[in-house]
Structure 1
Amino acid sequence: MERQWSVDATQAMSYAIRRTRGCLEPANPDLADVVGIDNRRSLIIVDSAVTHLYGDRIRGYFGNYSAPYTVLPIETGEVGKNADTVGRIVREFDKFGLSRRRDAVVAVGGGVLTDLVGFAASIYRRGVPYVRVPTTLLGMVDAAVGVKTGINFNGRKNRLGTYFPATHTLIDPDFLATLPARQIANGMAEIMKMALVKDQALFEVIHREWVSANSFAADATVSGPVIDAAITAILAELEPNLWEDDLQRLPDFGHTFSPAFELAATPMLFHGEAVAIDMAVSCLIAHHRALIDEESLTRILALMARIGLPLTHPCLNQDLLAAGLADSTRHRDGRQNIPLLTKIGTAIFAQDIRVEELVDAAHALHPLHVRLGRG
């Protein structure tokens, strides 16, 4: 060997999450502050459903400032979470004449929309900054607080993606007022995930305070602390492991088998609903292995059902469960790393779960699903 070069570099990672109320009210400066509206052009990419609800308020807010802006509605959904939609967003970047640093990209919508815009921003000119304003509960506590972007590819959930956080994320629980109950439950699945593996106190708050989706959305004294606690818990796990160098991750609870059946399910499942079923299967396995007791199992499943989350689905069969286990094991570099509860708020990682255990747990969930009022 005549010559060799070695490069050793680090990349700083810093981003901010701010919780506010009424971010589209003209008197609230938070959105203007994080976007830098006063001296930047803004390309605001909005979920089309959000445009119908908030389009006039978005235009009114940005219209208060002298800098020009463009509002671009985008149809979203898991079916459109793909390279074609990313291509459309990138073409809009070109049409807008987006600069590398001077202009603002703002994503306003649910987790699918923020993932799409984040992925597009990460690959356009090798990265342009963007701001996220999640409008769903799932987006507020999961999709829009981490660093990952992703799109579906080849029938696989989030098979293509990057690590590229927004410079700022603005969390406004006031958006919950226009969410249907099913979408509130969808987001609560990700909150339950962190409560079960990391924060027993959060579980107890939800267990004590949950009445209905409508009351959760309307009562800031409940939703605010719950959202804050969920974000605090997940960031405590993400920050030391942003690049996923360690593939034993508590936030993977509920995400082992769910990617295999989320896109395949008929009738369709939202992301959080698929996660809830995965969590229920994992809790049954933990109980069968004598890791959690009967009382804990019953409390967990009963609360999930009370929130409005499914515990099983007709698509749950041996082939899908086996495929999900195999694919997650590949994704985790040959190890299962499946979080199993030892009590509410604490988990270990299993490496030896068999497909037969998954099938037995899935079968056992059906009568529980019916008995707890979800049948």
Structure 2
Amino acid sequence: MNDRVIWPASMGALTRFEAHGWRVHATQEVSYEVRQIDGIFSLDSPELIACGRAQPCLRQAIVIDARVDQLYGEEMRAYYAHHGVEVSILSLSVSEETKDLDAAMTIARHLESAGVLRRSEPVVAIGGGVLLDLVGFAAGLYRRGIPYVKVPTNAMALWDAAVGIKTAVNALDRRNRLGSYHAPTVALLDRSFLSTVESRELSNGMGELLKLAVIKSPRLFDLLERHSEMLLLTRFQDGIVAPEVIGLAVEGMLEELAPNLWELTLDRCVDFGHSFAPLVEMKALPELLHGEAVALDVLFSCRLARARGLLADQDVRRVVRVMKSMQLPLRHRFFEQPGLLQEALADTMRHRDGRQRLPLPDGIGACRFVNDVDADAIRIAAEEMAHADA
């Protein structure tokens, strides 16, 4: 029997393809905004009231990192009181070690007790990347998906975790092993939060800037090469370089994410720095932070690229100098263990459907994917990692 359209529609269709068989075709439009703003808790700022929607949100459930609550909670509460918004606030202490299903269930219980409406009352997540991941994960599961807003408060989140649609929790002794795709309504990026971020956490977030610069943006790399020390010293509060650096990083991420939000294509250049680091990071917790692990992965991958003639010695030395200026580590014992690094790559290959799909820099600012990195190449690069400036 030939296919026969029973119900056509702009967002879906039903066809009958045999006597007792039907095929459903459906699409779901995803649209969200990412905005750079200043002074999110300023009384004249409309962003948190609007939550990216046409109508103001006058009842909001908020999940805020406990440390951020200590620093900004009074200002946040005054902002909502000024605008007459009814809020239910969960102040949650989170870390990479507690980014799990239990934490997600704590958030779900908060949503239930707050009685959030299914469509018109977005949940507001205010915190770093761990908290944004947790809230996105819980919001995606609660009532099979309710809207939420991301307000990143640390460097890692500002130009990485806040701009995509992936959510996750750690499980099964693996980082982000359980997750989903759930787009926020809007992500509001306010760099003033970085003024109170500790120096190591700021350096940690710059590991993701390094990743993007090396694999995608010569302009971003040039800015980091010239201004990383200043950006750290001023905590990204200068009015010229910092906005451009953040803008380049966010736009670069979105350029890669937007055509492939659900990762139907597994060759992703933004996976650079995330081929060996995920397993190493889980084994090294809490001594190695995420961005530090990413930066070490970047350096290791640069050494793999140099061995293939994709990257010049001079370029590897430039990467090392930028890492030093960012106060990122150049060595860690786990990146000097070939067996562990082979295990890490094998684990990543399962995530990439059985192939390496390893993004390597093809010169600063360009990417090439390879699938034939062998044990000898890993051993040689691991030996080089023991000599930080090599």
Q: State the TM-score, normalized to the length of structure 1.
A: 0.95
CA apart distance, 1:292: 0.8
Distance 2:97 2:224 in 1: 32
* Aligned positions of 1:72-151 closer than 5 A: 72-151=90-169
The aligned residue for residue 55 of structure 1 is 73
- Cα distance change, pair 365–348 in 1 and its aligned pair in 2 (3 A): same
CA apart distance, 1:284: 0.6
The aligned residue for residue 14 of structure 1 is 31
CA apart distance, 1:288: 1.4
SS across alignment from 2:25: coil
Structure with greater proportional strand content: 2
Counterpart code for 2:203? A
The aligned residue for residue 302 of structure 2 is 283
In the alignment, structure 1 segments of 5+ residues that lack a partner are none
* Aligned positions of 1:167-316 closer than 5 A: 167-212=185-230, 213-265=232-284, 268-316=287-335
CA apart distance, 1:216: 4.2
Q: Which has the larger radius of gyration?
A: 2
* Aligned positions of 1:23-38 closer than 5 A: 23-34=40-51, 38=56
- Cα distance change, pair 31–204 in 1 and its aligned pair in 2 (3 A): same
In the alignment, structure 2 segments of 5+ residues that lack a partner are 1-17
CA apart distance, 1:364: 0.8
Q: Is the 8 Å Cα contact of residues 38 and 67 (structure 1) preserved in structure 2? A: no
Distance 1:340 1:221 in 2: 31
Q: Which moved more, 1:108-117 or 1:192-201?
A: 192-201
Distance 2:366 2:271 in 1: 14
The aligned residue for residue 337 of structure 1 is 357
Q: Is the 8 Å Cα contact of residues 210 and 216 (structure 1) preserved in structure 2? A: no
Distance 2:286 2:107 in 1: 29
Counterpart code for 1:4? G
- Cα distance change, pair 42–349 in 1 and its aligned pair in 2 (3 A): same
* 1:361 aligned onto 2:381: yes
Distance 1:292 1:198 in 2: 14
CA apart distance, 1:67: 2.9
- Cα distance change, pair 35–191 in 1 and its aligned pair in 2 (3 A): same
> How well do the aligned residues superpose, as a CA RMSD in angstroms?
1.5
CA apart distance, 1:305: 1.7
Q: Is the 8 Å Cα contact of residues 156 and 206 (structure 2) preserved in structure 1? A: yes
Counterpart code for 2:361? L
The aligned residue for residue 44 of structure 1 is 62
